[in-house]
Amino acid sequence: MHANSHSGRVAVITGASSGIGEATARALTADGFRVALLARRVDRIQALADELGDGAIAIEADVTDRDSLVAAAQRVQDELGGADVLVNNAGVMLLAPFTSEQRAEQRQMVEVNLLGAMTATEVFLDQLRDGGGDLVNISSVAGRTARAGNAAYAATKWGMNGWSEALRQELQPDVRVIVVEPGAVATELVNHITHGETKEAIEQFYDATSITADDIAEIIAFAVTRPHSVSLNEILVRPTRQQG
């Protein structure tokens, strides 16, 4: 890391209260970014902002609530001078067989993972365009590999990949669009699965396989600190132990 080499750049991270988002906030702060931490659990992002210092701010925001994102963008503009990087990281992975009819959870995944990222991007886009920014979309191996039991989650991540590629072409050369597709990463993500059998199987897989949120955060930080002429469009990163 090159401390302070990106002093003055501002990164907005959705889902910064835990896991990959929290780790990314730490990595980007170490690289000299000022960060705006967005999530619903305001106590967690406030504690992180206090710890990071250096202009870090915590903003309570739900990516399914456009008004809260508009208010967040206003604060980023007023307090930090606008966003240079937006990391669309907020997400849920409520895996279950499609036939288990968990309709509310399927809908929540689409609303948070896909529509939430689209809304945050639409709201922050003028700030990103102003001076040449980066859009980092956290997709998944599940955005390239569909399998029985992850239909709705895979739909959100395949959707994110298609949307991101179209957006990359539309926004270049002003804004770089960078898609990151992690495999199993040890975070709170699996804790929220409600389908018992699925949860047990995924926990076993994660216990045996996962890499850390810091591993992914370092890759995000690397991607956004390349010269603007270089665009790492798509980064698929599995634990070496992960087969599919």
What are the residues binding ligand NDP (CB under 6 A)?
14-15, 17-21, 39-41, 62-64, 89-93, 112-113, 138, 140, 182, 184-185, 187-189, 213
Distance of CA 244 to the CA centre of its chain: 22
The beta strand positions in 117-242, using DSSP E, are 134-138, 176-182, 185-186, 211-212, 234-237
| Residue closer to ligand NDP (CB basis): 44 or 228 | 44
| Residue closer to ligand NDP (CB basis): 61 or 128 | 61
Q: How many CA atoms lie within 13 A of 109 on its CB side?
A: 25
Tokens coding 231: 């665009």
Report how far residue 138's alpha carbon sits from residue 135's, in angstroms, rounded to the nearest whole number: 10
Report how far residue 18's alpha carbon sits from residue 151's, in angstroms, rounded to the nearest whole number: 25
Nearest approach in angstroms of CB 238 to ligand NDP is: 10
| Residue closer to ligand NDP (CB basis): 129 or 147 | 147
In three-state secondary structure terms, 4 is coil
Nearest CA-CA partner of 6 in 231, 223, 232, 230: 223
| Residue closer to ligand NDP (CB basis): 174 or 218 | 218
Nearest approach in angstroms of CB 227 to ligand NDP is: 26
206 given a catalytic annotation: no
Tokens coding 80: 């930090």
8-state DSSP, 116: I
Report how far residue 88's alpha carbon sits from residue 208's, in angstroms, rounded to the nearest whole number: 27
Nearest approach in angstroms of CB 229 to ligand NDP is: 28
Catalytic residue among 153, 178, 221, 225: 153
Nearest CA-CA partner of 183 in 164, 202, 163: 202
| Residue closer to ligand NDP (CB basis): 80 or 87 | 87
Nearest approach in angstroms of CB 13 to ligand NDP is: 9
Nearest approach in angstroms of CB 138 to ligand NDP is: 4
Report how far residue 119's alpha carbon sits from residue 116's, in angstroms, rounded to the nearest whole number: 5
| Catalytically active residues, by annotation | 153
